[in-house]
Amino acid sequence: MKILQLLTVALACAVVTAMAQVPAPSASAPPVPAPPQIGAASYLLMDFNSGRVLVEHNADQRVEPASITKLMTAYVVFGELQEGNITLEETVIVSEKAWRTGGSRMFIEPGMQVTVEDLLRGMVIQSGNDSSVALAEHVAGTEEAFASLMNHFAVQLGMQGTNFVNSTGLPDPEHYTTARDVAILSLATVRDFPDYYPWYSEKEFTFNNIRQHNRNTLLWRDPAIDGLKTGHTEAAGYCLAASAKREGMRLVSAVMGSDSEANRASESQTLLNYGFRFFETVQLYQAGQELARARVWKGLAEEVPLGIGDELFVTIPRGRYNDLEAQVQMQPKLTAPLEVGVIVGQIAVSLDGEPVAERDLLTLAPVEEAGFFGSSWDSMKLWFDAMFEDEETEPGAE
């Protein structure tokens, strides 16, 4: 638990280290083998909490997303639900365009009134193209307008290699994504919509007296897997975005361009098994946790507590937690007044001398400026400190 010990920042010290030297690797920690090589055209494995990429191959290569597109269709609709713009219970009148959309279907019919919830489940579980178009038209009026919303959220999420022109994933030269962007979107879906995400683990859905199964066959193989979405067209090949959680650790994978339905499942399983077997994710610090204290000049308080603004997770090889090293670097002198959230330095975490994570170090409490006498006294001490520092740096000084 060395890395969780509180750090004390000394008055004239700009760097504080949690451990004096980089320790030798733990004797009990097994070596991490090279990542598995699978047959898909591109793929990526990422940890949910830390965001660390554990495996990648051609992750930024432009590919067709096929029905994985519906992850973003659902993301937009989930956002509308969360904002209160629509409800699960309200009904949608199915258009002829939605009914005529080819490919996978939940078998809605023109003029039929279907609830938003049924359409969502028909899209998430059955991968219905017809339900995707019906939802897009309900939210934005037209599928084209809805695609602009999809692209808006893609930009917000940092999906730099993605462009959508429809809600279904039917082929179009200007409709594309990358394995990295699919993993980013999968992570965001789990993180941002925990109330709706469980639909991705449902194995079947019955609508209009027709029962269909979820195309994600991993849901039957591994109880740790609880999503997300499959995709297939002749041009895209077989694709799968998957997520699994074991012993509190969640991983997200994106496999694009496999050559069969069976292979996209086995290749995804291979990636996930590798991540869970050889890595672990640990929370080092909580948001707002006091990690250090710093001297404050000219303030009503002599010290200010320091911490980070969000939770800090790191993903490391299994058995290496006690080998982590934390180092704080901060401004040598802080002067009041100080507000909450002022960046005064950084905290960096490393393993074997290699960086693992870095966060800004923030003030956790305000410090008001002292009155005239307190401020004057500190000003005098700062003046003397500066004078002696100048003397020590003069040429020929010992």
Nearest to 115 by CA among 68, 162, 81: 81
Q: 189: which residues sit within 8 A by CB, 6+ positions away?
A: 71, 74, 75, 78, 197, 200, 227, 228
42-206+213-258 is a CATH 2.30.290.10 domain: no
For 205, phi then psi, to 5°, come to: -150, 135
Q: Where are the domains of the chain?
A: 2-22+284-390, 42-206+213-258
Rounded to an integer, what distance in angstroms lies between the CA atom of residue 22 and that of residue 325?
7
Residues contacting 185, CB < 8 A, separation 6+:
71, 72, 75, 154, 157, 159, 241
Residue with tokens 């799968």: 240
* Residue 70 a catalytic site member: yes
Tell me: domain 2-22+284-390, CATH 3.40.50.2000, correct?
A: no
- The three-state secondary structure class of 2 is helix
Which pairing describes strands 292-297 and 334-335: parallel, antiparallel, or unpaired? parallel
- Active-site choice (42, 70, 132, 186): 70
Amino acid at 358: E
Residues 6+ apart with CB under 8 A from 251: 45, 46, 47, 48, 54, 243, 244, 245, 272, 275, 276
Helix (H, G, I), strand (E, B) or coil at 281: strand
Res 16: pLDDT: 36
DSSP 355: E
Nearest of 256, 272, 228, 262 to residue 57 by alpha carbon: 256
Q: Is 127 noted as a catalytic residue in this protein? A: yes
| CA dist 140 → 55, 85, 86, 117, 144 (Å) | 37, 11, 11, 17, 8
Tokens of 101: 């959309």
Q: Which residues of 335-373 are buried (b: 16+ CB within 10 A; e: fewer)?
A: bbebeeebebbebbbbbeeeebbebebbbbebbeebeee
CB 69 within 8 A of CB 186: no
Share of the chain residues as helix, strand and coil, in percent rounded to the nearest 5: 30, 30, 40
Amino acid at site 302: E
Region for residue 29 given its phi and psi (left: phi exceeds 0; alpha: psi -120 to 50; beta: otherwise): beta
Mode of pairing for the β-strands spanning 303-307 and 204-207: unpaired
What is the pLDDT at residue 385? 53
Q: Which residues contact 259 (CB under 8 A, 6 or more apart)?
A: 39, 237, 238
From 42, 50, 95, 127, active-site residue = 127
Neighbours of 231 (CB within 10 A): 27
* Cβ atoms of 328 and 294 closer than 8 Å: no
Annotated active-site residue in 67, 95, 104, 243? 67
- The reply to whether 67 belongs to the active site is yes
pLDDT at 10: 32
DSSP for 312-325, please give it.
EEEEEETT-GGGEE
Averages of pLDDT over each 10 residues, the chain, 398 residues: 39 32 51 94 98 98 97 98 98 97 95 98 97 98 98 98 98 97 98 98 95 96 96 96 97 97 97 98 94 88 92 96 91 88 93 94 91 50 50 46
